[in-house]
Structures are given as structure tokens and as C-alpha cells.
Amino acid sequence: MTFDYDVLVIGAGSAGLSAALTLGRCRRRVLLADGGAPRN
């Protein structure tokens, strides 16, 4: 199984989430990666 993404966003802070959301709205396939522990 292969996965194809247009963009890799590293970091799920406020800037990373905003970038991923904007790119998703522009019909890009986005992979959002964050190495930190879950915040919630």
C-alpha cells in the first residue's frame, strides 16, 4: 500500500495546523506530523 501526499507539514502547533488547514481547503493532500506528546 502506498500513500501519496502533496505536502508534508512538520509540527502541529498553531502555524502548522493553520498551514495544513489552508492547504487542505486548496485541495492538496496533506500529511501533518508532530513528534510531541498528545496535548489533550
pLDDT tens digits along 1-28: 899 999 999 999 999 999 999 999 999 9
Query: Identity (one letter) of the amino acid at 7?
Result: V
pTM for the model? 0.80
Residue ranges of domains in the chain: 1-40
Query: What CA–CA distance (Å, rounded) separates 21 from 30?
Result: 9
Q: Are 14 and 38 in contact (CB under 8 A)?
A: no
